[in-house]
């Protein structure tokens, strides 16, 4: 069990640029979640995959956000035309099945200047 891996750890980008983050869940975990966390706040749900199927998307996930999990293993989260309000920690988590605790990665800290 190598844990949930997220890359990069930090990303600084200029407003209007596109960014992509990657998440590698724990192997054999077929459920994968993306959350966003701003400073001093709890994580907010963005989207959820079961295997390669994206089963739920939050209203927070605007048209500029897209997530994929093409082979049911790793996942990518892309933000197009970044805005300063997108600055946050983006957390990925995985779990093996329903009702089990989520295992979180270290997150990707995005700063939009």
CA distance 21 to 10: 10
65 near another protein, rule: CB under 8 A: no
Residues in contact with another protein, total (CB under 8 A)?
23
Q: Which of 14, 27, 40, 63 touches another protein (CB under 8 A)?
A: 40
B/e letters for 25-44, b = 16+ CB within 10 Å, e = fewer, are bbeebbbbbbbbeeeeeebe
Scanning residues 13 to 32, which ones bind another protein (CB under 8 A)? Answer: none
Q: Which of 75, 107, 110, 112 touches another protein (CB under 8 A)?
A: 107
The structure tokens listed for 72 are 């049911």
Residues 70-89, mask of contacts with another protein (x by CB under 8 A): -------------------x
The structure tokens listed for 25 are 């869940």
CA distance 26 to 4: 5
Query: Residues near 57 by Cβ (< 8 Å), separated by ≥ 6?
Result: 46, 47
99 near another protein, rule: CB under 8 A: yes
In the complex with another protein, the residue whose CB is nearer, 28 or 98, is 98
Which residues would be at the binding site for another protein (CB under 8 A)? 33, 40-45, 48, 50, 55-56, 89, 91, 93, 98-99, 101-107
């Amino acid at each position: 069990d190598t844990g949930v891996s997220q890359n990069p750890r930090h990303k600084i980008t200029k407003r209007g640029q596109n960014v992509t983050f990657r998440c590698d869940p724990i192997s054999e975990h077929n459920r994968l979640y993306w959350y966003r966390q701003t400073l001093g706040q709890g994580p907010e749900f963005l989207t959820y995959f079961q295997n390669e199927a994206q089963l739920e998307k939050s209203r927070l996930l605007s048209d500029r956000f897209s997530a994929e999990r093409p082979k049911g293993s790793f996942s990518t989260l892309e933000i197009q035309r970044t805005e300063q309000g997108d600055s946050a920690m983006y957390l990925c988590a995985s779990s093996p099945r329903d009702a089990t605790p989520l295992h979180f990665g270290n997150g990707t800290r995005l700063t939009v200047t």
